[in-house]
């Protein structure tokens, strides 16, 4: 549903029409209502919280606007960039990635303080409130491999934590269906165009953001109050 994500400030009549389309899609049986947070246990295997240089996590879970928007409100997160992972540099642009043929997923690069938040907690937030990890190649109204659920690990430690956590959640039946999240080695992360950065913060009245993404931020605030920050970090200052 790429057309929804290309909406920009429009005259009132056009905005009313597009808002109606968005609402109709939201209510469609093919889309389903905005998911609620899923209360899940923290990972049994995780890194200890220790002081040190910032670490990086790269995740994909649907449209990167909402994923970035949630993690910008997480205590201990230093920066979050929207971008592309899984494909080549030559195809790392929004229009090409939106074709669903590049191997890229809309992703976020999360830089965080390991003394404040752990890699495992980053994954817990992603699975609990950011997206539905049981949906294959789609999230909400967005369909295609570019919207897949994925964890791009940068070292063997991250892979072990990710694999173990998925197995833990599946074994405990934390979700009604099996988790389909891919765990792939990170080749490269390519930062998205500037107009995509901090999109949720700059466009809270967008019908797409209001319908699909702001509820995720509220779910995070209610589910992880100790990790919620009301002063979001910005990718572009």
Per-residue pLDDT tens digits for 124-173: 999 999 999 999 999 999 999 999 999 999 999 999 999 999 999 999 99
How do residues 161-187 score in pLDDT, each as one tens digit? 999 999 999 999 999 999 999 999 999
Size of the chain in residues: 237
Give me the residue label for tokens 């970090």: 233
- Structure confidence by residue, pLDDT tens digits, 185-210: 999 999 999 999 999 999 999 999 99
**pLDDT tens figures, 55-97:** 999 999 999 999 999 999 999 999 999 999 999 999 999 999 9
**118 and 50 Cβ atoms separated by less than 8 Å:** no
Name the pTM for this structure. 0.87
Measured CA distances, 168 to 19, 124, 158 (Å): 40, 12, 15
Are 110 and 56 in contact, with CB atoms under 8 Å apart? yes
Q: CA 198 to CA 234: how far, in whole Å?
A: 6
Tokens read off for 149: 């659920």
pLDDT of residue 18: 37
Residue 56: name the closest of 103, 105, 117 by CA: 117
Residue 183 gets which letter from DSSP? E
* pLDDT grade for 5, boundaries at 50, 70 and 90: low
Helix (H) or strand (E) holding 151: strand 149-153
Q: Which fold has domain 2-223?
A: 3.30.1060
Q: 37, 58, 60, 63: which one is catalytic?
A: 63
Helix (H, G, I), strand (E, B) or coil at 136: coil
The verdict on whether 63 is a catalytic residue reads yes
Is the Cα dihedral 148, 48, 220, 223 positive or negative? positive
How many Å from the N-terminal Cα to the C-terminal Cα in the chain? 30
> DSSP letter at 90?
G
């Amino acid at each position: 549903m790429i057309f929804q994500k290309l909406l920009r400030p429009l005259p009132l009549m056009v905005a009313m029409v597009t808002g109606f389309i968005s609402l109709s899609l939201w209510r469609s049986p093919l889309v389903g209502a905005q998911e609620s947070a899923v209360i899940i246990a923290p990972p049994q295997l995780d890194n200890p919280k220790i002081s040190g240089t910032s670490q990086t996590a790269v995740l994909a879970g649907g449209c990167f606007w909402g994923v970035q928007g949630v993690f910008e409100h997480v205590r201990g997160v230093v920066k979050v960039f929207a971008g592309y992972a899984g494909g080549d540099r030559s195809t790392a642009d929004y229009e090409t990635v939106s074709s669903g043929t590049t191997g890229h997923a809309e992703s976020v690069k999360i830089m965080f303080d390991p003394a404040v938040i752990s890699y495992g907690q980053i994954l817990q937030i992603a699975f609990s409130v950011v997206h539905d990890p049981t949906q294959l190649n789609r999230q909400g109204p967005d369909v295609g491999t570019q919207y897949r659920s994925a964890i791009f690990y940068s070292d063997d430690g991250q892979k072990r934590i990710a694999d173990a956590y998925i197995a833990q959640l599946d074994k405990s039946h934390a979700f009604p269906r099996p988790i389909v999240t891919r765990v792939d080695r990170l080749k490269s992360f390519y930062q998205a165009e500037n107009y995509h950065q901090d999109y949720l913060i700059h466009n809270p009245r967008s019908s797409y953001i209001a319908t699909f993404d702001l509820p995720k931020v509220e779910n995070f605030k209610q589910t992880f109050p100790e990790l919620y920050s009301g002063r979001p970090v910005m990718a572009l200052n």
